[in-house]
Structure 1
Amino acid sequence: MGEYVNPAKIFGENVFNDTVMQERLPKNVYKKLKKIIEEGGELDLATADTIAHEMKEWAIEKGATHYTHWFQPLTGTTAEKHDSFITAPMPNGKVLMSFSGKELIKGEPDASSFPSGGLRATFEARGYTAWDCTSPAFVRQDAAGATLCIPTAFCSYTGEALDQKTPLLRSMEALNVQSLRLLKLFGNTTSKKVTPSVGPEQEYFLVDAEKFLQRKDLIYTGRTLFGAMPPKGQEMDDHYFGTIRQRIASFMKEVNIELWKMGVTAKTQHNEVAPAQHELASIYSEANVAVDNNQLVMQTLKRIACQHGLKCLLHEKPFAGVNGSGKHNNWSITTDDGINLLEPGKTPHENIQFLLVLSCVLKAVDVHADLLRESAADPGNDHRLGANEAPPAIISVFLGEQLEDVVEQLISTGNATKSKKEGVLETGVKTLPDLKKDATDRNRTSPFAFTGNKFEFRMVGSRDSVAAPNIVLNTIVAEAFRDACDVLEGAENFEDAVHDLIKKNLSEHQRIIFNGDGYADEWLAEAERRGLPNIKSMVYAIPALTTDTAIKLFGDFKVFTEAELVSRAEVKFENYAKTINIEAKTMIDMASKQIIPAVIKYATSLAGSINTITAAGVTAVGVQKNLLNETSALLEETQKALDELIAIENAGCEMEDGEAKAKYYYEKVTPAMEALRAPVDKLEMIVDKEMWPMPSYGDLMFEV
């Protein structure tokens, strides 16, 4: 039994949070900082110096020797450059520990090697990091000791956003401004700030580290490029919510402790559907904090796994044939005085403000479905979306029976006079209580589902930052709110105008509502009939970023400039091509150096045994000959597919980066990779296990 840890005592102990600031900062400095956090503005240098000094002293008490501006470039991960607190030696040979306000507010990392999509030339190195005081600084403790991490935005010398945080903060401000306009229409004069709240759910796989290191595909790409299914996969559903194995439980306990210390509200943990798959979910927090915290979750999962002789796989599809991993993005809108704009109340048909907000969200998702789909696009997610394990690639909204009924009443008559009630769930067992039943069931196949007082966007990939989907959600809903306010602020009769607008929004965008089975073939045909886009690959999703509609949307709300959008599209096209290029080269390397030699060795052994048995006068060698023939035929097929992949991949390498190259890798290289995989996976089922050069799926998923 491990030592008991009280979460309440350790939670946030490594965070420079509001409690610490109140204790350590002079009152006037604390008030200035709080005002900037709540209302925006710039810190003067004297105030920043005071904050930096106290932050440094607090961090040193936690064992920190270095600080870093912790930022999120367009690589999808985080970046950091560590500087120690020591200053130049004094005449007596001693050093002082110092940290200035200027060092707190602004950093200057080299920007030349981060993806910029043409915004910066390679020789233009200057970039700036700027402290995001709305996301608290924290001390991270790891093998390097303790480091003070300061969450920052990252932009170029010419002011363009080179990161995920800057546009996220811009989108949050856009939503805030338009939400306050909308609330004012309903007589709300007390709410001063509206913030999107996010609660991400993180799925991941754990495999044994020694077995991981025997698989080049896992090392280089994060997923298995070859692998036959074991006799048992997930079909028994016995891993899902099953008892957590002791080795995994020990890992989870340490993950929780480390996250709680850094103020991350790790709440739920359980086994997921696939063998070796698990999930960790956090409680809601403001969108930018949630994005930062989810990066900490991913980093902590990987770091702690190594300490337990494990490897954490965050790829969306580490194993073919079993469920991949996603990241549900739970999104809601709340005011500073505790009002949730997505709370229907006890009678949704009477809650006019909620119905207007709902109709605006439906309009936003319908008009900008392509952008929402793009926000969840990455190479790994191509393997997951629409694979009967995750939402389809078609964007639709699940409302449930109660709200769908209200919507239909409003569309047909202009008024909703009733709402379906929750009712009672009778258990049929005398010793169990009857349960109060929700007014509607859930739909796990929906990509965008209303789940009580929030929307759950289920398309996001497990490796991805949740910044991109929240940037899109915030901005498209801000636009829908703006359009509504433009109509209603000038209305002579507000009550009639708001009813008319709700009916108009619902009537025009009803096509986006779908409560049925998203996996059904009938839905594909129905979605096409409705005119809903079905974007099957990242490559075809990326162009949504640079349409006239997208440029106007993001430009109107100053979330992205046209140059920033074009650059992000270029980064994503390049990322896709590079990812598939690495996967193809890894397959070529494994097939050439490991798999084909192993199969030849097995075939030679088989041929030798046939000769030996025949020489002994035994003629019944049909089984061995059949195996040899099958092995030789598959070996020939493998070599032919390998040669084809080499030729196709080499041609792709010669192309210039951009959309055409990304499409080539999707349309030509990925089918060639599948063609190579097919015979190899068949060979794995034939070749002596002792001769097969790498751990099997069964070894990886069941021996953890």
Structure 2
Amino acid sequence: MSIIRFNALKETLHRKPVQVNQSEKRSTLFGQNVFNKYAMQQYLTRAAYESVMNAIEHGTRIDRKIADQVAVSMKDWAMSKGATHYTHWFQPLTGATAEKHDAFFESINGSLAMEKFDGEQLVQQEPDASSFPSGGIRNTFEARGFTAWDPTSPAFIYERTLCIPTIFVAYTGEALDNKTPLLKSLQAIDTHATAVCRYFDKNINKVNATLGWEQEFFLIDTALAVSRPDIQLTGRTLIGHSSAKGQQLDDHYFGIIPARAMSFMQDLEEECMLLGIPVKTRHNEVAPNQFEVAPIFEEVNLAVDHNCLLMDVMQKVADRHQFKVLFHEKPFAGINGSAKHNNWSLALENGTNLLSPGKTPMKNLQFLTFFVNTIKAVFENEELLRASVVSASNDHRLGANEAPPAIISVFIGAQLSAVLDELENVTKGKLSPKEKTDLKLNIIGKIPEILLDNTDINRTSPFAFTGNKFEFRAVGSSANCAGPMTVLNTIIAKQLKEFKQDVDQLIESKNLKKDEAIFNVLREYIKASKKIRFDGDGYGQAWEKEAKKRGLSNNGTTPAALKVMISKNVIDLYEEMNVMSKIEIEARYEIKLAEYTKRLQIESRVLGDISRNHVVPTAIIYQNTLLENTKNLKEIFGGEYKNIAKEQIELIMTISKHITEINAKVIQMEAARSEANKQIGLKSAEQYCGSVKPFFEQIRYHCDKLETMVDDNLWPLTKYRELLFTK
């Protein structure tokens, strides 16, 4: 074992688990550091409180004088909690979060000082927009951009700083963040889902999209992670031979959580409680040193903010516990990668879930309406939904016999498929009395019972109905949920808009009753979207062939999947729903392509460095040892034995072949990279994907072979068995 690995392991093994105070009930901690309704009631005047609540619930503007009152009250509350600074906390198009801290402290005449925070500082700030990805919206010399307060997501305190969730827009008005389109998509789905709900209850005034994410991640000891340049710079291992023991015994999933990991999780949960993040579930995942945390469902905007905040907090808590958190979708070859399943649904203001059946046929008809429209929306926009989850890292995971394939399909289970098949056969036009009775009693009336028994889950499906929600399983663990949720909200809002138009047209032109019109439209939607439904094995080659026959896309790489983003249909969709403009869509397309290219560029550089500066020199050192050994043996025994040192000679030759291949492949990879760098946009991304990336596995193969041959005491990189099984 090399001295680097030895020191890293020694540091790891001598650590003691961090002790966490567990004396208080978690419920008493919940939201203590959040300027939530309770805190606002304590600190705001009635007029200010009502103004903020109207902004949250109805989207009304907050008057400047009220904003000043809110700012002063927010500052007083924050300072009572020990805060000294404030920041506008936003989500630029880097995929991470951003913040610039300013002190409440202000100097007066150079001799006096006071703490100040007013409405202008609360409502708007001006960070440098040219230093964030803009996809051409902003030039380097055009630096002005604005962050603006989002009152629908409450302010919170973290590390003595008042964090104010905001949107981020260019001086010219275009969105430069993930939150602004998300908020617009939520407004769209509220508008059109509410309009459809009024078929069933005229008193419904608001519909919220809800989200429950499941965050998977790996915990690696900091000292071991630091010994791996690839983990440090790319978030994953670019080389590394599989450990003899991996996940094949299925002994880690739901197993006893290791002591250090448990201490980390307990500390993390305590931080989450203070920040109002309703984390409820924790468990071991499938792979060694892989774990998951999951919260209670929340409104989508708040859930997205909480997931972004959780990922930030996890990194900081992990540092205290001497861990490095890996969010990369595929940090280790040969074992499961990590996802962030997005569980999506729609709910009324009173919490009623629109994707849960009710006790009456009318409630079940409401359920079927939203259920079928969701399936239809996915069918019409499956390529766009696929594009919403693409990344260089998620390309390693999707379709790898551990995650959903790149083909988007919908799983609903055999029982619900039978219900839709029966509805498909409903007579077009007015229903006969028998059909009305059959629909109410035999089909719709049995839906609650069907769902109660329909407990199976298809883990190979990228978009699965799981009883009262749809689970979008293709989202990667490092992703910001805002992207896929914006797409999902937008396509379903558009579908619900079309549904209402179709139903109203039947009522007016055919003189049908409301229920009959709904049944007729749903029947046509069921027929039209049948191709997207698939309950079988998504991993099999048979499904690839079948999906192709059905006309479904199979975009296996990021460059291929992204093309749909700038199609006329997608631009028209976003503009019609007032979610994004053409320039905002094209900017995001360019940013995603650039990020993909840069990540592969970084990985190729790191791989070349590790191969040439770590692996090859180590192999040569070991080879020289073998050569010296062979020379000494021949000197001792002379020519008496023909096969003297035969094994050593064969090993020397094998090592030489691998060294030769590594050097040759690295040179070829660098040449391909040089050519790809001459291109821009899609052409550059395609060349990196098709000409540079294939060398990764070829170079890795030879490096991993050398790992199994070279003396363990010499090998410079921490091995899989140490990374994955050191607790």
Cα displacement (A) at 1:459: 0.4
> Which residue in the other structure is 1:183 paired with?
197
> Which residue in the other structure is 2:155 paired with?
137
The answer to whether the Cα contact below 8 Å between 2:408 and 2:462 also exists between their aligned partners in 1 is yes
Query: Higher mean Cα deviation, 337-346 or 297-306?
Result: 337-346
> Which residue in the other structure is 1:462 paired with?
477
Which of 89, 98, 123 is the aligned partner of 2:141?
A: 123
Query: Higher mean Cα deviation, 411-420 or 332-341?
Result: 411-420
Cα displacement (A) at 1:642: 1.3
The alpha-carbon distance between structure 1 residues 348 and 230, as it changes in their structure 2 partners (threshold 3 A), is farther
Q: Distance in 2 between matches of 1:462 and 1:8?
A: 27
Could you say what secondary structure the match of 2:131 adopts?
coil
The alpha-carbon distance between structure 1 residues 423 and 174, as it changes in their structure 2 partners (threshold 3 A), is closer
- What are the equivalent positions in structure 2 for 1:341-490 lying under 5 Å apart? 341-345=354-358, 351-414=364-427, 416=439, 417-418=442-443, 438-490=453-505
Q: Aligned letter for 1:481?
A: L
Could you say what secondary structure the match of 1:270 adopts?
strand
Which of 78, 87, 96 is the aligned partner of 1:59?
A: 78
Q: Aligned letter for 2:189?
A: L
> Which residue in the other structure is 2:604 paired with?
584
What is the alpha-carbon root mean square deviation over aligned residues? 1.6
Query: Higher mean Cα deviation, 658-667 or 638-647?
Result: 638-647
Cα displacement (A) at 1:338: 2.4
The answer to whether the Cα contact below 8 Å between 2:364 and 2:447 also exists between their aligned partners in 1 is no
Cα displacement (A) at 1:690: 1.2
Q: Distance in 1 between matches of 2:223 and 2:372?
A: 53
> Which residue in the other structure is 1:46 paired with?
65
- What are the equivalent positions in structure 2 for 1:648-659 lying under 5 Å apart? 648-656=672-680, 658-659=681-682
**1:600 has 2:600 as partner:** no
Query: Higher mean Cα deviation, 453-462 or 515-524?
Result: 515-524
Cα displacement (A) at 1:651: 2.0
Which of 680, 696, 717 is the aligned partner of 1:694?
A: 717
Q: Aligned letter for 2:605?
A: K
Which of 555, 573, 580 is the aligned partner of 1:553?
A: 573
> Which residue in the other structure is 1:82 paired with?
101
Could you say what secondary structure the match of 1:87 adopts?
strand
Cα displacement (A) at 1:422: 8.3
Cα displacement (A) at 1:3: 3.1
The answer to whether the Cα contact below 8 Å between 1:349 and 1:406 also exists between their aligned partners in 2 is no
Cα displacement (A) at 1:218: 0.5
Cα displacement (A) at 1:637: 1.1
Could you say what secondary structure the match of 1:303 adopts?
helix
> Which residue in the other structure is 1:159 paired with?
173
The alpha-carbon distance between structure 1 residues 628 and 50, as it changes in their structure 2 partners (threshold 3 A), is same
The answer to whether the Cα contact below 8 Å between 1:377 and 1:541 also exists between their aligned partners in 2 is yes
Q: Distance in 1 between matches of 2:565 and 2:581?
A: 11
Cα displacement (A) at 1:517: 1.2
Cα displacement (A) at 1:654: 2.7
**1:8 has 2:27 as partner:** yes
The answer to whether the Cα contact below 8 Å between 1:348 and 1:403 also exists between their aligned partners in 2 is no
Q: Deviations over 1:295-331 (max 9, x none)?
A: 1111111111111111000000000111000100000
The alpha-carbon distance between structure 1 residues 576 and 584, as it changes in their structure 2 partners (threshold 3 A), is same
Q: How many residues align?
A: 686
* Structure-1-length-normalised TM-score: 0.95
> Which residue in the other structure is 1:637 paired with?
661
Q: Deviations over 1:625-644 (max 9, x none)?
A: 12111111111111111111
Q: Aligned letter for 1:343?
A: S
Q: Deviations over 1:174-193 (max 9, x none)?
A: 0010011101122x122221
Q: Aligned letter for 1:418?
A: I
The answer to whether the Cα contact below 8 Å between 2:20 and 2:267 also exists between their aligned partners in 1 is no
Q: Distance in 2 between matches of 1:421 and 1:102?
A: 53
Q: Distance in 2 between matches of 1:248 and 1:566?
A: 42
In structure 1, stretches of 5+ residues that fail to align are 425-435
> Which residue in the other structure is 1:430 paired with?
none
> Which residue in the other structure is 1:432 paired with?
none
Which of 188, 199, 202 is the aligned partner of 1:174?
A: 188
> Which residue in the other structure is 1:525 paired with?
545
> Which residue in the other structure is 2:10 paired with?
none
Q: Deviations over 1:465-484 (max 9, x none)?
A: 00011101111110111001
The alpha-carbon distance between structure 1 residues 312 and 672, as it changes in their structure 2 partners (threshold 3 A), is same
The answer to whether the Cα contact below 8 Å between 1:207 and 1:700 also exists between their aligned partners in 2 is yes
> Which residue in the other structure is 2:239 paired with?
226
Q: Distance in 1 between matches of 2:546 and 2:147?
A: 48
Q: Aligned letter for 1:78?
A: T
Q: Deviations over 1:400-430 (max 9, x none)?
A: 1221110011113456433768889xxxxxx
Q: Aligned letter for 1:128?
A: F
Query: Higher mean Cα deviation, 28-37 or 413-422?
Result: 413-422
Q: Deviations over 1:510-560 (max 9, x none)?
A: 111111111122111111111111110111111111111101110001101
> Which residue in the other structure is 2:301 paired with?
288
Q: Deviations over 1:364-404 (max 9, x none)?
A: 00000011101111110000000010011111111112211
The answer to whether the Cα contact below 8 Å between 1:421 and 1:439 also exists between their aligned partners in 2 is no
**1:647 has 2:671 as partner:** yes
In structure 2, stretches of 5+ residues that fail to align are 1-18, 428-434
The answer to whether the Cα contact below 8 Å between 1:221 and 1:582 also exists between their aligned partners in 2 is yes
The answer to whether the Cα contact below 8 Å between 2:90 and 2:167 also exists between their aligned partners in 1 is yes
Q: Distance in 1 between matches of 2:20 and 2:132?
A: 43
Could you say what secondary structure the match of 1:20 adopts?
helix
> Which residue in the other structure is 1:514 paired with?
534
Q: Distance in 1 between matches of 2:452 and 2:364?
A: 21
**1:495 has 2:518 as partner:** no
> Which residue in the other structure is 1:562 paired with?
582
The answer to whether the Cα contact below 8 Å between 1:348 and 1:354 also exists between their aligned partners in 2 is no
Could you say what secondary structure the match of 2:146 adopts?
strand
Q: Aligned letter for 1:472?
A: V
**Matched-pair identity in %:** 43
